[in-house]
Amino acid sequence: MSLLSLRGVTKSFGGLTAVNGLSFDLIAGETVGLLGPNGSGKTTALNLISGYLPVSDGIIALSGETISTIGPERIAHRGVARTFQLVRALPSLSVGENVLAALAFRKAPVWGRQAESHIERLLADVGLAGRAAQPADSLTYIDLKRMELARALASDPQLLLLDEWLAGLNPTELRAGIALITSLRQRGITILLVEHVMDAVRALCTRCIVMNAGSKIADGPTAEVLADAEVIRAYLGDDHA
């Protein structure tokens, strides 16, 4: 049974079509990579799934129910959480409050005393134990990314959308990051990740979807897809083909 399904999803901005007739399915529990060169429409696809942008055409369904006609807050309540390409912390809130913001407004809200233990556990999960009181805008880049992930997890998602969450990390941080996502996969969360770090994609994803110029050009097991000549050409340019 597919958790998420896209059928003919299209998004145009004025004359420019960013996503063109995109269709794919995610099976519950999968970790899938969404690949493609810059400007191929990956982030737009995530934005369409999370409801940040309305679709121009096509249908997106979650567990068989259409979500492409409802707003982002209702999609969030159906169990979709995300991170952003450029980290979007809530700068005037503390680290703990950033996480609390997700706990408080999810479908089954957690609030008050009860939330404190949740926050502590979520922050510990991402390696930010004991830092709840710190102002969010004082965190380092990697810690901001961790906090954003904790916030996404606090929404108790079935489907997690990660937009280049591993970008910009140093090798040590990258290893820690990959381990973290692996642990999420083991909890049964379905993950769709947009990623340029190929090592991470190989380590994490069982399956990959490749986009170019708004359309899907490949979809299959990671190793096969990454070996595909067309993918390499699209991704790395003709020189490497």
Partner 1 sequence: MMKLLAALVALAALAFVPAFAGPYPLGLGIGILGYGVLATAWAMFSGPTRYISLATVAFFGLGAYTVAVLADVLPYPLVLLVAALVGLVVALIVGLATLRLAGIYFVIFTFGLTELVRQLVTYYEVNVTRTLGRYVFLPIGPEHIYWQLLALLAATLAIAFWVSRSRIGLALRVIGDDPDVASHLGVRITRTKLTLFSISCVIMTLAGAIQAPRWTYIEPSIVFNPTTSFLVVIMALLGGPNRLFGPLLGAIPLFLLFEWLSANFPNHYSIILGLLFIAIVFVLPNGVLAAGDSLWSRLTRKAVRP
**Binding site residues, partner 1, CB under 8 A:** 50-52, 71-73, 76-77, 81-82, 84, 88, 90-93, 97, 100-102, 104-107, 109, 111, 151, 155
Which of residues 153 and 201 has its CB atom nearest to partner 1 in the complex? 153
Q: How far is the CB of 131 from partner 1 (least distance, A)?
A: 19
Q: How far is the CB of 231 from partner 1 (least distance, A)?
A: 30
Q: How far is the CB of 87 from partner 1 (least distance, A)?
A: 10
- Reading the block at residue 152, the tokens are 């996404």
Which of residues 72 and 168 has its CB atom nearest to partner 1 in the complex? 72
Helix (H) or strand (E) holding 211: strand 207-212
DSSP assignment, residue 49?
A: H
Which of residues 101 and 213 has its CB atom nearest to partner 1 in the complex? 101
Return phi, psi of residue 139, to 5°. Answer: -80, 155
Query: How many separate helices (H) and strands (E) can be counted in the chain?
Result: 9, 10
Q: How far is the CB of 89 from partner 1 (least distance, A)?
A: 8
Which of residues 59 and 105 has its CB atom nearest to partner 1 in the complex? 105
Helix (H) or strand (E) holding 229: helix 229-236
Choose among 3, 6, 47: nearest CA to 24.
6
Q: Which residues contact 132 (CB under 8 A, 6 or more apart)?
A: 94, 95, 96, 99, 119, 120, 123
Which of residues 106 and 118 has its CB atom nearest to partner 1 in the complex? 106
Q: How far is the CB of 162 from partner 1 (least distance, A)?
A: 13
Which of residues 84 and 235 has its CB atom nearest to partner 1 in the complex? 84
Measured distance CA(109)–CA(107) in Å, rounded: 6
Choose among 216, 173, 230: nearest CA to 197.
173
Q: How far is the CB of 151 from partner 1 (least distance, A)?
A: 7
The maximal CA–CA distance of the chain, rounded, in angstroms, is 59
